[in-house]
């Protein structure tokens, strides 16, 4: 599986890696997806409204 995530441009690389690890863990535990490629982008990248908004659509709970 491959995906893109959008992060606030002010967070550190370490914080970004923690986000990626958390996403990988949820995907493995909840959906049995064992391999994922995650591309990180900042909020300035235009997605044409086609992104899943985790703040609006997912509360982070399993």
Alpha-carbon gap, residue 10 to 30, rounded angstroms:
29
Which has the closest alpha carbon to 61: 29, 35, 34? Answer: 29
Alpha-carbon gap, residue 20 to 11, rounded angstroms:
13
**pLDDT band, very low/low/confident/very high, at 7 (cuts 50, 70, 90):** confident
pLDDT digits (tens, 9 = 90+) for 42-55: 877 666 666 665 55
Q: Please identify which residue in the block is written with the tokens 């959906």.
A: 31
Q: What is the average pLDDT score of the chain? A: 79
């Amino acid at each position: 599986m491959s995906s893109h995530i959008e992060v606030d441009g002010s967070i550190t690389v370490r914080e970004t890696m923690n986000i990626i690890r958390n996403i990988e863990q949820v995907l493995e535990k909840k959906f049995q997806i064992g391999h994922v490629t995650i591309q990180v982008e900042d909020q300035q990248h235009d997605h044409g409204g086609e992104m899943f908004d985790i703040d609006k659509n997912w509360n982070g709970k399993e």
